[in-house]
Amino acid sequence: MKLPYGISNFARLIEDGYYYVDKTHYIEQLENEPAPYLFFLRPRRFGKSLFVSMLSYYYGLEHKDRFSPLFGSFYIGQQPTPRANTYHVLKFEFSRIDTSTPESTQKEFLKNTLTGIREFEEKYGGAISRRTHRHQYCQ
């Protein structure tokens, strides 16, 4: 079995047959956590990006048709929560920001934020616009 060094995309890891230690039971624990905000602080190279990617595939409604192939053999695939694939997921990628100067940090932070918003709009824009439009008239 292949070792997934440097791979932080959950779907790629599973679909390409890489070794994966099942961390999906943490999803259930996160949902049962009473804290309003959760912070996932770990040292570099400890799987933060992969874990966030797994959460994105689990909760993102655009991945609903891939649930069984991605999660079927893992804990959460056998015992899914009611929240599986029910959310519009807004994702930001800040891991490769040039932080060498305050100016480059700010510039790249803003660029990556806009990229995340644009990707969200491309993915969900029509659905959200229709929902918002319909909701405005229902009030």
Q: Are residues 23 and 77 in the same domain?
A: yes
85 and 64 Cβ atoms separated by less than 8 Å: yes
pLDDT digits (tens, 9 = 90+) for 68-115: 999 999 999 999 999 999 999 999 988 889 999 999 999 999 999 999
pLDDT at 133: 45
Q: What angle do CA 96, 16, 6 make, to 5 degrees?
A: 25
Q: Are residues 15 and 66 in the same domain?
A: yes
Residues in the chain: 139
Q: Are residues 37 and 100 in the same domain?
A: no
Domain that holds residue 104: 90-139
Give Cα separations from 124 to 61, 86, 99, 133 (angstroms). 10, 13, 31, 14
Q: Are residues 110 and 132 in the same domain?
A: yes
Q: Are residues 76 and 105 in the same domain?
A: no
72 token code pair: 């079927």
Q: Would you tell me how many other CB atoms lie within 10 Å of the CB of residue 13?
A: 19
pLDDT digits (tens, 9 = 90+) for 33-68: 998 888 878 787 788 889 999 999 999 999 999 999
